[in-house]
Copies of this chain bind each other. A is one copy, B any other.
Amino acid sequence: MTAASNVKIRDYWAFTSVTLKRCLQLGPTMAKSKFEYVREFETDDTCLPHCWVVVRLDGRNFHRFSEKHNFAKPNDGRALHLMTKCAQTVMEELEDIAIAYGQSDEYSFVFKRKSNWFKRRASKFMTLVASQFASSFVFYWPDYFEDQPLLYPPGFDGRVVLYPNNQTLKDYLSWRQADCHINNLYNTVFWALVQQSGLTPVQAQERLQGTLAADKNEILFSEFNINYNNEPPVCRKGTVLIWQKVGDVTTKEVKLPAEMEGRKVAVTRTRTKPVPLHCDIIGDAFWKEHPEILDEDS
């Protein structure tokens, strides 16, 4: 934070070790060198090459967090959109993320099969994702929760999982989306029973015990006049983030012929940004429509 700032020292560590080496040879500071051996206890956690690297984050104790911050049940739109804003920030600030998928209080980030970011060290991947997501969560909170101050800074746990080919990666993402569906259907009925029919949570739970998806759809329709398929896609499908070209219309000064000098001109500049979708990713259609995501050579 306080290193000699204008000097062109690209790698702070390189700088440090040069300093250390200088000291080793000479007198009073020599003693310090004897501690350097502790670096050998660091282990190599390089991810197997040519595998998809997935980092999945989960909110820590978000059950309590959602209660303390009065989240709407069964889904709080503000929270879901804040989560997606954080995921977009992660994709833009970090390197080589090909796609992300989120639902409830979790988000998965998929790094490119041939990414060599930080030499594919698993600890770098997961801590940079976790910390960037968490700092963004606090940073962007006021944009989504205008009337609800943030009471304390939340934590997120993360893990790295490797998938050796496209099929296993797609199955991973399908697993998460299937999980979203199952939980959201359950929660939708559960909260209808509680909020609209006045059941206690225990009664609602008992009512749902042993029911199938079809049963739950039926309850929603016959008792609450809810067609589950008309519920918001963000709740039913979660959020997929993929890179897409976005046309920004910006006003910019450009060099113009003499007679037009001094005027400003609207220029359309295309950029690539992480765009949220709420579509099915279990079937083939999504992957056929976006072949570049899994294309090994992109």
Contact = CB atoms under 8 A, between A and B. Distances in A.
Interface of A: 1-7, 12, 16, 19-20, 22-23, 26-29, 31-32, 34-44, 46, 48-51, 57, 59-60, 62-63, 65-67, 71-76, 79, 89, 93-94, 104-105, 118, 122-124, 126-128, 130-140, 150, 152-165, 168, 171-172, 174-175, 178-179, 181-183, 186-187, 190-191, 194, 200-202, 204-205, 210, 212-214
Contact of A44 (B44, B194, B201): B44
A131 B133 contact: yes
Given A2-B75, A139-B152, A183-B19, A43 B35 contact: no
A297 to B, nearest CB: 13
Contacts of A32: 175, 178, 181-182
B164 A48 contact: yes
Contacts of A22: 210, 212
Interface of A is mostly: helix
Given A7-B201, A43-B48, A131-B156, 16 more contacts: A1-B59, A1-B105, A2-B72, A7-B204, A7-B205, A32-B181, A35-B172, A35-B178, A40-B49, A50-B168, A60-B131, A124-B159, A127-B156, A136-B153, A139-B152, A139-B153
Given A152-B139, A159-B123, A212-B23, A38 B76 contact: no
Contacts of A105: 1
The 3 closest A-B pairs by CB, nearest first: A164-B164, A135-B153, A35-B175
A138 B153 contact: yes
A242 to B, nearest CB: 20
24 contacts: A1-B105, A2-B75, A3-B187, A4-B187, A4-B204, A7-B205, A12-B63, A16-B179, A23-B213, A35-B172, A41-B48, A41-B163, A41-B168, A43-B162, A44-B44, A49-B168, A60-B131, A89-B153, A123-B157, A131-B154, A131-B157, A132-B134, A136-B153, A164-B164
Contacts of A16: 179, 182-183
A73 to B, nearest CB: 6
